[in-house]
Amino acid sequence: METFHIHLHGDVLKIGFNPEKPATTDHIVRDVISRLKAMDDSGELAGGPLLKVNGPAPLPVCYTLAHHLANKYRTVAVFDPKAGAYVVSIAQSSTYGCGELIPADTPVVSSPIKVVLCGPPRSGKSCLRQGLKQAILKIANAPYPYVITACPDGEGAWFSEAAQRDPILARQLKDAYKAKFTPEFATLAAGWVCQTQNPLTLIDVGGKVTDENRQIMAQATHAIILSGDLEQISTWETFCQSVGLTVLAQVHSNYEAEHDHVVSETAGFITGQVHHLERGEDISTRPMVQALARHILQQLPTS
């Protein structure tokens, strides 16, 4: 069974992880090379003026694809959910220039779910974000949970996996990438959230009730409140409601606890406790995280 899906649909190369066969990146790269060779041998990747690539991939896989496709296609454009369009990344003719946007020709999702993970600082939002992503990926037929890091704290979607392998290096990189929260960044991040048409997006925001967070969160649809301080939950609930978000969950982040605990769950709302959110740890199998993952997917429109 392949670890990474690659299929050609017209002029779009659709790619993505196989959730039923997780693998390390080096293994995936070898499988990608094998799959591309098979597509070459069958004549499926015949080359031409334009190829559009759509789907998530690790950075080494992106390099592998670019090296292979640049020899066959004069223009290669990659879909960016934040822009809602394809960005020309390889341009070997005068038809397109690198950085040019090509409008997406895929159907627009009627009701995308955009879930903000919010709450006070040091509650473990980035840890929860990664755990939710991994838990959702393990659920059959779930859409890929696209992640937007809407706070300039240096802790992008890469951080948790890097911390599992080398926590010291991950911390050094985070400190190097950290920037200030400016109005310009808020406008940019709000545009990302507004433009994305992925069926499911998780948005990690800063830990303060600010105008910048208000601007960003107003483009989302739902919220999960995570707080180590129970008294601050009501403040964040009022803030979420003031920007028009539907609050899906209130979660107590209890670092010292030994177990998760789902307190209550209805069709539209869930409360509970998640324990010991520590960077670098896989929390995707914890009961509260799995309950939240299922709860988020229940909000998706039925076809």
Q: C-alpha angle 33/34/38, rounded to 5°?
A: 115
Give DSSP secondary structure letters for 211-235: HHHHHHHTT-SEEEEEESSGGGHHH
pTM for the structure as a whole: 0.85
Apex CA 158: angle with CA 202 and CA 299, to 5°? 15
Q: What is the pLDDT of residues 92-101, one digit of tens each?
A: 999 999 999 9
pLDDT at 253 > cutoff 90: yes
What per-residue confidence (pLDDT) applies to 294?
Answer: 97
Closest CA to 203 of 107, 287, 82: 82
Going by pLDDT thresholds of 50, 70 and 90, the confidence category of residue 302 is confident
Cα four-point dihedral sign 131, 133, 137, 141: positive
**Scanning the structure block, which residue is given the tokens 């627009």?**
108
How many other β-carbons are positioned within 10 Å of the β-carbon of residue 291?
A: 19
pLDDT tens figures, 210-229 = 999 999 999 999 999 999 99
Distance of CA 249 to the CA centre of its chain: 19
Q: Which has the higher per-residue pLDDT, 122 or 169? A: 122
Greater confidence (267 vs 263) lies with 263
Name the 3-class secondary structure at 86: strand
CB 110 within 8 A of CB 262: no
| 111, 143 contact by CB (below 8 A) | no
pLDDT at 154 over 80: no
59: helix, coil or strand? helix
Distance (Å, rounded) from C-alpha 225 to C-alpha 286?
A: 18
Radius of gyration (C-alpha) of the chain in whole angstroms: 20
